[in-house]
Homo-oligomer: A and B are copies of this chain.
Amino acid sequence: MTITINLCADIGESFGAYKIGDDDAMLGIVRSASIACGFHGGDPVTMHDVVKRAKEAGVSIGCHPSYNDLWGFGRRRIDTSADHLEYMIAYQIGALQAFAAYVGEKVTHLQPHGAVANVAAEQEDAAMAIGRAIRSVDRGIIYVAPPDSWMEKAGRKLGLRVALEGFCDRSYDDDGKIASRKLPGAVHTDPDVVASQVLRIALHGEVVSRTGKVLPQRVHTLCVHGDEPTGVATAKAARKALEDAGVKIVTLPEMNFE
């Protein structure tokens, strides 16, 4: 039996004259892209361009919404009420859908960015707010969520398809959550470490924590951060390891979420 998994990068985070990440290279490697929508990065021109290239590369299009915080690159928690958060997310979905319409595609998944992803993983009201935005704008959109997070629970409660996410390039704490960026070694930059973690997740449904603990980690999608300088190398290492092991890499909508 062939194992299938998705490989996904967050891209499109450039803003005007400011460039972050090598989106073109990334689109040649991954099969799904979570695209910034102008709140922490990205702008209408970048979004149009990245969506067009994703279409050309056969990469499925996802929304990567954030708090409105360009200066903080969406990494600062902003104390936002659930309804305000919901409408901020809805706004970003809609904006990206416009560019998907340009190429005759749909936005097929949503993966929150940075601080809002952390908050929604931990807090039910934020997780539900994001889920309601998805349900109201297009209930066909897949909600990408960490396993056992409030996001997963919210997605299921709202009847949405949920894609569980693992990370190629981040180390894990003993509780199964990714370690804070502030810790040394939080971001894997060694391709061998990446390959090892990716294979452990894809083949065995488990991950080894920073302290060496083996944790269950069943996921549908493996994520890599496009804004890391080593992002492209990480994505390449992940893809090669998976392909060499006979794992089939598919787009998110091609995954089976039953």
Contacts and interface: CB of A to CB of B under 8 A. Distances in A.
B99 A90 contact: yes
A90 B98 contact: yes
Nearest to A101: B137
A17 interface: yes
Nearest to A38: B91
A122 to B, nearest CB: 13
B15 A101 contact: no
Interface stretch (A27-35, A39-47, A152-160): A39-47
Interface in A50-95: 68-73, 75-80, 83-84, 87-88, 90-95
A136 interface: yes
A102 interface: yes
A218 interface: no
A227 B17 contact: yes
A105 interface: no
Given A15-B71, A45-B87, A79-B115, A98 B101 contact: no
Interface residues of A, number: 46
A20 interface: yes
A48 interface: yes
B88 A44 contact: yes
A97 interface: yes
A96 interface: yes
A87 B48 contact: yes
Contacts of A38: 91
Given A95-B91, A95-B95, A101 B70 contact: no
Interface in A175-233: 227
Nearest to A74: B17
B84 A45 contact: yes
B78 A72 contact: yes
B73 A16 contact: yes
Most B C-beta atoms less than 10 A away, residue of A15, A19, A96: A15
Q: Sorted from nearest, which 4 A-B pairs have the closest CB atoms?
A: A94-B98, A18-B18, A44-B87, A17-B73
16 contacts: A15-B70, A15-B71, A16-B71, A18-B18, A18-B73, A43-B71, A48-B87, A68-B71, A70-B70, A76-B79, A90-B102, A92-B95, A93-B98, A94-B101, A95-B95, A97-B98
